Amino acid sequence: MTQSVCILGATGSIGKSTLRVLQQHPEQYTVFAVSAFNRMDELLEICKSHHPKFVVVPKDKALELQQRFQQDNLNHIEILTDEAGLIAIAEHAEVDIVMAAIVGAAGLLPTLAAVKAGKRVLLANKEALVMSGDIMMQAAREHNALLLPVDSEHNAIFQSLPTNYLQSERTGQPKLGVSRILLTASGGPFLNHSIEQLHDVTPQQACKHPNWSMGQKISVDSATLMNKGLELIEACHLFSISEHFVTVVVHPQSIIHSLVQYVDGSTLAQMGNPDMCTPIAHALAWPERLATDVPALDLFEVTQLNFQSPDNVKFPALNLARQAMQAGGLAPTILNAANEIAVEAFLQHKNRFTDITQVVEHTLQNVHNAKAENIDIILQTDMIARQVAAQRIASRGV
Ligand code: NAD
Ligand code: MG
């Protein structure tokens, strides 16, 4: 029996890597549904090679897609639209596995729907967990969903933790002999830039990551280190550990993907060439292993692994995220929303690279934090934070 997979965000970097892994194992997996927000040409190609039963696109793209399906004899594929469509495929009774690979807050409700339907959920969409941490983790427990990390660092941590760690009691304290998590960061493309140089960097430079090929938003997040900030929050929720047990280590080669330290002095790490197909295959098949075309690590070629502390003055995003996690409640939602707006503005040349964290800080100071009691409050706060961030950007200009 094959397992049926739904890919939310199939045309993205993670979506395509997922399809690459699935394609190599047609006897084990079938693609049941895919979603795309834009790039309809790519979606069409995906449909031709993977034959899903459903696709989900924005309403204003549905008619055009239907016409193209007719031309290509793909009429049997059903087109659903917008958020309702995403939720429908995420919780569909025929789906076993959901890859949550939409970027940003747009992925929150579909990911939560998959969790509530008790699916195996492969989590790439870290923003969803940053926004809704406690609610998402609680829903996973209540509905027996298996929430597995695809983010390379969290997947590495998961691989380095004791096997029964996720099932054990969630206390916020290290347990089962674990003493600390070391979350690695590449440092991004501007690791060795001066503060002055950072003022003038362009979106194109920011999106050129030294080790990973990723979507634009996460590439900019990697350059500001906000990605590591979001990942810090992600780690706290996934592994139920308070933020002061998580140390960020800059490791420019991205060969060690993160580490777990134990009370007996052991440090376990997961290593590999930087290719997302490895954590995707791991999360798909866990506790089994699935072959990929990622070449085995050649240590004679690597020769050097370097480590340093993050520069919190040059890259204030990490501390902002740490403070938001300490503050709790809606603060991570506010941080994430402001960051999404500021990154988008940077990509459109409407603010500078160094303004991104300033906008986030301003928004955190000006949007009221409260308990993240339910999804409605989270979504409302997300909207308010977006408005505050946008106003700040508009009032300052470039
Ligand atoms: P991407 O920009 O390449 O792809 C995003 C996907 O989401 C696309 O399929 C797009 O059509 C869809 N999408 C965008 N906006 C949408 C909206 N408003 N509604 C519905 N769908 C929408 O991004 P990516 O690099 O694949 O990253 C996806 C997620 O995975 C992000 O949360 C990112 O942080 C996380 N992640 C990515 C990597 C990586 O290597 N790319 C690594 C770790 C985690
Ligand atoms: Mg990562």
**Which of 65, 51, 73, 55 minimizes the C-alpha distance to 11?**
55
pLDDT for position 232: 98
Q: How far is the CA of 162 from the centre of ligand 1 (A)?
A: 30
**Which of 294, 302, 315, 398 minimizes the C-alpha distance to 360?**
315
- Contact (CB, 8 A) for 124 and 150: yes
The yes-or-no verdict on residue 397 having pLDDT over 70 is no
pLDDT tens-digit readout, 312-368:
999 999 999 999 999 999 999 999 999 999 999 999 999 999 999 999 999 999 999
- Minimal-distance CA residue to ligand 1 atom 31: 103
Pocket test of ligand 1: the residue of 8, 55, 102 to mutate, having most ligand atoms within 8 Å of its CB, is 102
Does the predicted model carry a pTM greater than 0.85? yes
Closest ligand by atom to 212 CA: 1
Mean local confidence (pLDDT), 367-386: 98
Terminal C-alpha separation, the chain: 56
- Contact (CB, 8 A) for 33 and 55: yes
**Whose structure tokens read 């990622």?**
294
Question: Cα(38)–Cα(61) distance, rounded to whole angstroms?
Answer: 8
Question: Cα(277)–Cα(17) distance, rounded to whole angstroms?
Answer: 6
Type of residue numbered 169: E
Question: Cα(88)–Cα(370) distance, rounded to whole angstroms?
Answer: 31
Question: Cα(58)–Cα(79) distance, rounded to whole angstroms?
Answer: 10
pLDDT band at 209 (very low <50, low <70, confident <90, very high): confident
**What is the average pLDDT score of the chain?**
97
pLDDT tens-digit readout, 2-48:
999 999 999 999 999 999 999 999 999 999 999 999 999 999 999 99
Closest ligand by atom to 183 CA: 2
The yes-or-no verdict on residue 398 having pLDDT over 80 is no
pLDDT tens-digit readout, 77-132:
999 999 999 999 999 999 999 999 999 999 999 999 999 999 999 999 999 999 99
pLDDT for position 192: 97
The yes-or-no verdict on residue 71 having pLDDT over 70 is yes
Query: Pairing relation of β-strands 146-149 and 178-185?
Result: unpaired
pLDDT band at 165 (very low <50, low <70, confident <90, very high): very high
pLDDT tens-digit readout, 263-286:
999 999 999 999 999 999 999 999
State the Cα torsion 207-210-214-220 to the nearest 10°.
-40
**Which residues have any ligand 1 atom within 6 Å of their CB?**
9-15, 36-38, 101-103, 106, 124-127, 151, 212, 214-215, 217-218, 276
The yes-or-no verdict on residue 396 having pLDDT over 90 is no
Q: Is the peptide bond before 295 cis (omega within 30 degrees of 0)?
A: no
pLDDT tens-digit readout, 238-249:
999 999 999 999
- Contact (CB, 8 A) for 123 and 147: yes
- Minimal-distance CA residue to ligand 1 atom 4: 12
Report the percentage of the chain scoring pLDDT > 70. Answer: 99
Question: Cα(56)–Cα(83) distance, rounded to whole angstroms?
Answer: 9
Atom from ligand 1 closest to the CA of residue 104: 32
Q: How far is the CA of 250 from the centre of ligand 1 (A)?
A: 24
